Amino acid sequence: MTDWFDIHMTPDELQRMSALGLAHIGDAVYELLVRSYLCTHGRATGRNLHRDTVALVCAPAQARAVKALERRLTQEELAVFRRGRNAKVSGIPHGATVGEYHAATGLEALFGWLWLTGSRDRLSELFSGLMEALHAA
């Protein structure tokens, strides 16, 4: 039986996955991390919890966070981020610029890639840095 909470894909398997596939996984991972962060930091009231989650998961917030993280990425992580950022997307959500949406897609692709490689420690390290950057702004 596959342990879906502990997936370790090979570099070849990850290379065959589309950048948008990585971003799709990364979007869910990122949102789960944000929800966990908010709940463990005492922001678990119903109405505010959803609002605070949306404020951190939206493309503009992710794009701001990417600026703080880029210098902390390895060359391999930066390549994955760029692969996601350069992916052809079909539409841009309201409230986000094209640049913000591409940066957010790159971040999500990176988080998806880290999840699928089993790099939980690195994922946690980058997410913590991202939260610090967002709250310092």
Question: Would you please indicate which residues are annotated as catalytic (active-site) residues?
Answer: 27
Q: How far is CA 14 from the centre of its chain?
A: 16
**HSE-up of residue 115 (Cα within 13 Å, Cβ side):** 23
Q: Tell me the two tokens of residue 26.
A: 């990364």
Q: Encode burial over 39-62: b for 16+ CB neighbours within 10 A, e otherwise.
A: eeeeeeeeeeeeebbeebbbbbbb
Q: Tell me the two tokens of residue 110.
A: 């990176």
